[in-house]
Amino acid sequence: MRTRVPRSRSAIKRAVERTTRRLEALRGPGAACERFRYDAIPLVQAALAAGLAWFLAHDLVGQTAPIFAPIGALLILSNAPGRRTSRVLAATLGAVIGIAVGDLLVSAIGAGSIQVAVVALLAMSVTAMLGASPAVVTNAGIAAVLIATVQPPHGFYSPAAARRLVDVLIGGATSLAVLVLLPAHTLSSTRRAATALFAELSATLDEVASALERRDEEAAERALEHARHLDSFVGRLREESDLAHEAVLLAPIDRQRRLLLNRYRAAAPKLELAVRNVRVLARAAVRAVEIEPSTGAQLSDAVRHVASAVPAVAAEIEVGSREGAASRELVEAAHRASAVAEGGTSVAGGALVAQVRSTAVDLLQAGGLERAAAVERVRLHGADEHGRHGSNQ
């Protein structure tokens, strides 16, 4: 007889385990190195943009003390999440608006604590009324505050005001050039995101299969918890592949790498669907373990075949193949799930069968098949199994 764990105690235990894992992940040189590796290129981008902006403004343009050029470059990059080109341009616009408004207001009302608050509020209000994004609004406020505190103008339309606008525009142009010449989001970052997703997805499916085999309610709950966190991995893949695609448009790479990046971009929405179905599958596994005396070995085997197919899908995306090991594993998973359905199963078992088949369709699409072909492949193998089942009776 299975021992049932009170749901509240089980939830508390899982929360403690998750917190412990996260704290352990933050400790140690390995975690620090991993975090630095992810942030290294954006840090180098910002540093190069600041230095180059000063060089252009000071040594080429001839500005005496162009502090707004490097400051503008740093502000623009720091307020352009993901480093998208459109966000860099928007952040540059915000800085320009902030400097223009700050110069006019400080010239009119002077400098001081109250004036700083008024200048920041009005600069951000102007950009907000123009329908600007939070990045643009923030940059406008920061630029206006710098005008009011660091280099307040003397009189309307002073030469200093024009020089500051030139400095910020140089900072924005430098930031954009650095993004093109040293992209932070490339094929390698997309690959890393995909590798992490495939590893987590395969491990979660293995957990579901093991929980079904052992009739382990706690293991099924853990698998469901892990399935709920897969969204962050697929979200990271979608973001990285989109940003890498933009980088390719700005700085073209060779044809083979472009094709591979396009395959990852095409696979990302299909993998998102697969993640959703795996989450429903994990939930169905919890219910099956709770209320069913047995789900049979065929179902856990089917889930394990889907788990085995995940790394094969990754390999097929890399090489551009559609008929490799992934297809065979997914077809076998559909085959076994169909056998369970044709043999008669409970509502909980039927939910597992449906999710195995749906996940198989999603992963076949991620590997490059069109939806109609993927559905037909899964459906045909269900029909084949039905024929074999009937001939054996």
The pLDDT tens digits for 106-124 are 777 777 888 888 888 988 8
Asked if 88 and 176 touch (Cβ cutoff 8 Å), the reply is yes
User: pLDDT class for 16, splitting at 50, 70, 90?
Assistant: low
Least confident of 168-177, 211-220, 293-302: 293-302
Rounded to whole angstroms, how far apart are CA atoms 82 and 193? Answer: 14
Predicted confidence (pLDDT) at residue 241 exceeds the cutoff of 80: yes
CA distance 279 to 13: 20
Phi, psi (5° rounding) for residue 392? -85, -10
Give the orientation angle of helix 28-54 with respect to helix 159-181, to 10 degrees: 130
Question: 251 — alpha (psi -120 to 50), left (phi > 0) or beta?
Answer: beta
Distance (Å, whole) CA 269 – CA 266: 7
Least confident window among 12-26, 265-279, 285-299? 12-26
3-state secondary structure of 371: helix
Domain ranges of the chain: 40-181, 185-391
10 Å CB burial of residue 33 (0-12, 13-18, 19+) is exposed
Residue whose C-alpha is closest to residue 109's, from 148, 70, 143 = 148
Whether residue 162 has pLDDT greater than 50: yes
* pTM > 0.75: yes or no: no
- Which range of 250-264, 303-317, 340-354 scores highest in mean pLDDT? It is 303-317
Mean pLDDT for the stretch of residues 64-71: 84
Nearest to 316 by CA among 267, 358, 255: 267
Residue 380: both structure tokens together: 């045909």
Q: What's the DSSP call for residue 300?
A: H
Other beta carbons within 10 angstroms of residue 373's beta carbon come to 14
Distances (CA, A) of 232 to 73, 228, 275, 354: 30, 9, 10, 24
C-alpha angle with apex 229: 226 to 234, nearest 5 degrees?
125
Q: Output the pLDDT for position 283.
A: 93
Identify the band that residue 280 occupies on the pLDDT scale cut at 50, 70 and 90.
very high
Compute the average pLDDT of residues 329-339. Answer: 83
User: 348 near 284, Cβ under 8 Å?
Assistant: yes
Q: How far apart are CA 321 and CA 375, in angstroms?
A: 18
Percent of the chain with pLDDT over 70: 77
**Quick one: pLDDT at residue 233?**
93
Distance CA 378, CA 336 (A): 11
Residue of 291, 306, 305 whose CA lies nearest to 346? 291
Which tops the pLDDT comparison, 51 or 239? 51
- pLDDT tens column, 203-235: 999 999 999 988 888 999 999 999 999 999 999
CATH architecture of 185-391: Up-down Bundle (1.20)
Are the beta carbons of 146 and 71 closer than 8 angstroms? Answer: yes
Distance between CA atoms of residues 138 and 197, nearest Å: 33
Does 30 have pLDDT greater than 80? no
If one counts every other C-beta atom within 10 angstroms of the C-beta of residue 69, the result is 31
Q: State which of 102-111, 137-146, 193-202, 311-320 shows the largest mean pLDDT.
A: 193-202
Sign of the C-alpha dihedral computed for residues 276, 281, 284 and 285 taken in this order: negative
